[in-house]
Structure 1
C-alpha cells in the first residue's frame, strides 16, 4: 500500500550583510558587532533619530577628483536602522568626477538637480557591457547593485545630484583606491600580471595619494 505524502516548499535566505564581513565567535561576551546596529528601546526614540538637515548645503569640491559625496545613512540617521534605505548628495565641480566604484550592498538611483552628468555602469563578466547616458536636471538613472559605475560633470559649472540607495549601509569600493591604495599594498607581481603593464606603471600608481571623495 502506497502512502501519500504532501510536501511544502520553504524559501529562506540569510539577511543581507550590512558590513564587509562578520567573523563568528563562540563566546558571546567577545561579540562586539552585529548585522546592523543595536536597537534602542522604542519608547526612548525622538524625532531627531529620524532627521537630517543639510542636503541643500553646497560642498567643497576642491579635491583631486573634483567631487564630494555627502552620505545620509544609518550613521547620520539612527532611525534608518533595519529600514534598508539611505541617501547621498553628490557635488561636482566643473568637469568633476565621481570615480569608478561599486556599492556591494545596494542598488542606486541617481537624480540630477543641477548641471549635467555623463553616467554609466559596466555589466559583469563575460560581456562587460557599458551602459551610459547624459543626464540633465530632473533625469534619473539606476545603477544595479554591485556593478562598477561612475558619474562625471560634463559642464563648466557645478552639478548636483541626489542618490537613493537600497541599504542603510550600502558600502563603497572605489576601484582605483582599492586596487592601488590598499593597506598593505597588493603584490606588484599580481598587479603587473592582472593589468598587463610594466612594474614601473604599478609602482607609480601605488605611490599616488588615493583619497576618498
Structure 2
C-alpha cells in the first residue's frame, strides 16, 4: 500500500467528517459469530472451511469505523473486523492524523506497536513504565519527530501519543503482534472512575464540581491539537 493510495484515502475522508459503523465479523443472535467459530475450530484446516471465499482474506482500509474524531481517523484490522486474522497472532492499523490532529494518550494492553509514517510527519511521545528516569531523576519521556518511511516502537502497555504539527495530513501504518491488541484512551479511562477517586488521584486540584465538565470535554481518540498549530493552519477548534 503506497503513499499515493493512502493520500487518496485522506482526500476521500476529510478530518471533519463523522465516522460510521465498522464492518465487522458477521454475528447472529442464533449462534456464534464467524470470529467465534474460527476461534473454536478444532484445527487450522477447519478454519479454512469457515472461510470459503477468497475475498474473505482481503481487508479494505477504505472502510470507515467508529472511534475516529475531529482530527482524523483510525482503521483497525483485528480478529473482529477481519476474521481471517484468527490464528495469525497479528493485527494492523492505518491512521490518518489531520492538520494539527492528535492521537490522544492511549495504551495497547496486549501488544507492542511498530509504527511507520508513510506521509507527512508525526511528533511522538512515549512514557515507559515506572522506574525509567532521566539522568536528573525526572521521569523519562521518549520524544521523536518521525518522517516518511521512518519507524518507531511503542512498547506494550506504555502510554503514548502522536501529534501532526503540520497543515497537511499525516498517514501511518501500525503493526501489532496480536489479533486483539486493544486500545485504551488514558484520560477517558481515568475520568470514568468515581468523582472522589478522580479528585484524590489529582491531588484535589480538580474540584468535584468540575469533574463532569472535564469528562464531557475529553475528545474521542483523534482530537484537534496544539493551539499554535491550529492558529498557524487557520483551523478553528470544534468543541463537542
Q: TM-score range by the shorter chain?
A: 0.7 to 0.9
1:206 pairs, out of 196, 215, 218, with 215
For the Cα contact (< 8 Å) 2:61–2:75, is it kept in 1?
Answer: no
For the Cα contact (< 8 Å) 2:100–2:165, is it kept in 1?
Answer: yes
Report matched runs for 1:151-170 at 5 Å. Answer: 151-170=162-181
Report matched runs for 1:32-111 at 5 Å. Answer: 37-39=39-41, 41-46=47-52, 47-54=54-61, 63-64=69-70, 66-111=71-116
Which has the higher Rg, Structure 1 or Structure 2? 1
Gaps of 5+ in 2: 1-32, 133-138, 223-240
Q: 1:58 to 1:162 in 2, by over 3 A?
A: farther
Question: 1:29-77 CA deviation, whole Å, 9 max, x = no partner?
Answer: xxx997x83335433433223211235x899x9934x121100111222
Corresponding residue of 2:197: 190
> For the aligned residues, what is the CA RMSD?
2.8
Cα distance in 2 for residues equivalent to 1:93 and 1:82 = 34
Cα distance in 2 for residues equivalent to 1:116 and 1:171 = 24
For the Cα contact (< 8 Å) 1:98–1:151, is it kept in 2?
Answer: yes
**What is the number of equivalent residue pairs in this alignment?**
175
| TM-score normalised according to structure 2 size | 0.65
Question: 1:144-188 CA deviation, whole Å, 9 max, x = no partner?
Answer: 1111011110111111000001100100000111122x3xxx221
Cα distance in 2 for residues equivalent to 1:203 and 1:110 = 34
What is the deviation of 1:136? 0.6
Cα distance in 1 for residues equivalent to 2:218 and 2:130 = 30
Q: 1:41 to 1:116 in 2, by over 3 A?
A: closer
Cα distance in 1 for residues equivalent to 2:126 and 2:218 = 25
Query: Which of 166-175 and 36-45 deviates more?
Result: 36-45
For the Cα contact (< 8 Å) 1:70–1:88, is it kept in 2?
Answer: yes
Q: 1:172 to 1:137 in 2, by over 3 A?
A: same
Cα distance in 2 for residues equivalent to 1:195 and 1:179 = 10
Question: 1:78-115 CA deviation, whole Å, 9 max, x = no partner?
Answer: 12112110110110110100000000001100010111
Structure with greater helix share of residues? 2
Is 2:128 the partner of 1:120?
A: no
